[in-house]
Structure 1
Amino acid sequence: MARTESNMFPLGNKAPNFELFNPTTGGKTSLEDVKSDKATVIMFICNHCPFVIHVQEELVKLANDYITKGVSFIAINSNDVSQYPDDSPENMKKKAEELNYPFPYLYDETQEVAKAYDAACTPDFYIFDKNMVAVYRGQLDDSRPGNNKPVTGESIRKALDALLVNEPISSDQKPSLGCNIKWKN
């Protein structure tokens, strides 16, 4: 397991558009389909990474807490499933159903979306405002597997709370840390 930090997508950049396979529905889902006119959270996750497994329950809680406030959430898996079959679309669907993901969990087979977002690790988080401009990128919170800090989603929650009341979001943003995205050769 390679411990990899976020590349820290530039604040102020627009969210790259995408349309990806949604294993849960069997169809395609685009950013246009699910973005919000308040805030949109895009997260790169997968099934097998211990860093993602560590925060999965909080991801569901976080999304459920903020979807009611008009925030949209989208999860994307960009891993090479030929090398990591636990992350296959079939297993993505099972994981989404098992954990009751309240957000689409999309498969980036070509890895072009991960590259467009300069995603480096799982989990990797991005928040875009109503104009789809990046206002936050980095960690969920300070918790990591084995560091005995509680998983609270504090960093994302603070950023979303500020955005929802039109207050500035601190530019002191810590990178996420997780497993590197499993790139195709």
Structure 2
Amino acid sequence: MARTPSTMLALGTRAPEFLLPDTVSGNARSFADLKGNRGTIVMFICNHCPFVKHVNPELVRLGHTYIPKGIGLIAISSNDVENYPEDHPDKMRETARREGYPFPYLYDATQQTALDYQAACTPDFYLFDSEDLLVYRGQLDSSRPGNSIPVSGEDLRTAVDDLLEGRPLSEDQKPSIGCNIKWKPVS
């Protein structure tokens, strides 16, 4: 199991726009379509990564907690499906339905969106404020498969709660750790 850290995109970065297919509805969706009026969480995830499987229930809880509070949640998979067929959009749709994702699960076939966000691993988390500026990037919490720390979402939840309450967000942010994005071979 690879342990790749986030690249930690610079705070204050404007959310890169995208137009990607939602694997559940089949509709093309953009950041502008899906953002929340109070902030937006963009998550790079995939189907097969043990780090993502470990946190999937918390991702669903995050959606149920924060979507009603005006926070948009967007999940994106950018993995190469030629070499990792378990991450194919058809399988993404199955995963979204099985897990009960209350947010769209988008497929980044060209991997350009992952490049624009400087995503490095799954899961990788980005929180943007109501002006679409990056205020948090990094780990969900300190839990990892096999480390016996319960999944709580503590780091990301604290950031979202601070954003919603108008408190300054700590700049002491820890990178997420997970499987590397499965990049397509360079031809």
* Length-normalised TM-score, structure 2: 0.98
Which digits, 9 at most, give the CA deviation of each residue in 1:66-120, with x for residues without a partner?
1111111000000000111110000000000111100000000000000000000
Residue of structure 1 equivalent to 2:170: 170
Unaligned runs of 5+ in 2: none
Residue of structure 2 equivalent to 1:179: 179
Residue of structure 1 equivalent to 2:74: 74
Q: Which amino acid aligns with 1:149?
A: I
Residue of structure 1 equivalent to 2:43: 43
Q: Distance in 1 between matches of 2:27 and 2:73?
A: 18
Secondary structure, in 3 states, of the residue corresponding to 2:28?
A: strand
Residue of structure 2 equivalent to 1:136: 136
Query: How far apart are residue 26 of structure 1 and its match?
Result: 1.2
Q: Which amino acid aligns with 1:32?
A: A
Query: What aligned pairs does 1:1-185 form with structure 2 within 5 A after superposition?
Result: 1-185=1-185
Query: How far apart are residue 40 of structure 1 and its match?
Result: 0.1
Q: Distance in 2 between matches of 1:73 and 1:27?
A: 16
Secondary structure, in 3 states, of the residue corresponding to 1:127?
A: strand
Q: Which amino acid aligns with 2:68?
A: T
Q: Distance in 1 between matches of 2:66 and 2:181?
A: 27
Q: Distance in 1 between matches of 2:37 and 2:24?
A: 24
Q: Distance in 1 between matches of 2:15 and 2:72?
A: 14
Mean CA deviation greater in 59-68 or 71-80: 59-68
The percent of aligned pairs where both chains have the same amino acid is 58
Query: What is the RMSD computed on CA atoms of the aligned residues?
Result: 0.5
Query: How far apart are residue 2 of structure 1 and its match?
Result: 1.9
Runs of 4+ in 1 over 4 A off after TM superposition: none
Equivalenced residues, count: 185
